[in-house]
Chain A
Amino acid sequence: MNSFFVMVGSDDTLLFENQVINNGKAASLASVGLSSGMDKADQKDVLTHFVLFSALDVVDEEMWRTQNMFLRKVDKFEEWEVSAFVTAGNIRFLILHDARNDDGIRTFFTRVYDLYMKMALNPFYKLNSPITSPSFAAKVRALADEHL
């Protein structure tokens, strides 16, 4: 499954992102929409962020309708779906993915939440600032390989 994972802070800033692209299908996302002078990679990034951040509005409504942190599928774009997870501190985790895998995504979110909590206890990390720790990135990548 192809996926784009982002963490969005409580003030809607981008904290972290991770992409897993297994096959050429991801390119289809790039071919949709934008036809400006940007190269393929840039277009894809812009479009992914656009789709994910526009899903935030739905997340903000959806989160009040359930007790769960995991919101399942909240939005759709062409054949891509957006699944979301909201932490107690209102950090939003979003995944744009092209195949249904609720269980895997739920486990992935929970494990990343665990990592995030530990990382947030680092006194040098300022809340709601972009996560630059290479070890965090490596661990998230490993989790994505395992569960997505």
Chain B
Amino acid sequence: MSSKASLQRTGDSAFKRMDHVSSELFTLTYGSLVLQLIEDFEDYAEVNNQLERMGNNIGQRLIEEFLAKSRVSKCGDFAETCEVIALVGFRMFLGVTGTVSQSAKEPHVCHITLASNPLLDFVELPDEAKGVLQYSNILVGVLKGALEMVQMRVDVEVVHDPLVGDEATELKLTLLEIINDEPPPDDE
């Protein structure tokens, strides 16, 4: 199992290899996307769904790029997977790193905390959207989609969100099952 420091180095060098865009351009583009969805669907719950679906789509493709460019080795367990996501994945695609916390009692649950979330710069939710709209829900979809492509079915949830007054963005990842794609026994 690779150490945190070496993962951090892997993340940094992967970040350097990526093309970069201005973070404001990114934040504002995402903001107008969310707003357009709100205008089109007029229902925050449905907007959450749409964001997750988009994220899922992104995640399924992003995992290829991640595996091709990040040069990480095979993960031993779910906890290591979460470390790789937090230190390499987020660093590569969003330029930030997360910290992972996990309790020994629940090895299949991981919390990733992002001290800064570039999606949220400048954003202030209107009162009626607080607690209903999951503004960062695209991350949920991305993680689910990407992990599903590497045989992990996970449930992801935004448990803390600075937009409703929390200190940092916190994502809770629950491993539901490792998808076993061995062919059925009677397969030729």
Binding site for B on A (CB under 8 A): 118-119, 121-125, 133, 135
Contacts and interface: CB of A to CB of B under 8 A. Distances in A.
A121 B24 contact: yes
A110 to B, nearest CB: 19
A124 B35 contact: yes
Given A121-B24, A124-B125, 6 more contacts: A122-B124, A123-B32, A124-B31, A124-B123, A125-B124, A135-B124
B126 interface: yes
B139 to A, nearest CB: 17
B28 A124 contact: no
A124 B24 contact: no
B156 interface: no
B122 A133 contact: no
Interface of B: 24, 27-28, 31-32, 34-35, 121-126, 129
A50 to B, nearest CB: 31
A86 to B, nearest CB: 23
B28 A121 contact: yes
Contacts of B24: 121
A119 B28 CA distance: 12
Contacts of B122: 118-119, 121-123
Nearest to A135: B124
A134 to B, nearest CB: 9
A16 to B, nearest CB: 15
Contacts of A124: 31, 35, 123-126, 129
A122 to B, nearest CB: 5
A118 B125 CA distance: 14
Contacts of A122: 31, 122-124
Contacts of A133: 124
B76 to A, nearest CB: 41
B129 to A, nearest CB: 8
Tell which of B24, B27, B28, B122 has the most Cβ of chain A within 10 Å. Answer: B122
Nearest to B133: A124
B164 to A, nearest CB: 14
Nearest to B124: A122
A125 B122 CA distance: 10
Contacts of A121: 24, 27-28, 31, 121-122
A125 B28 CA distance: 12
Nearest to B30: A123
Nearest to B126: A124
A131 B121 CA distance: 18
Nearest to B35: A123
Contacts of A125: 124
Nearest to B29: A123
Nearest to B121: A121
A121 B32 CA distance: 10
A132 B23 CA distance: 26
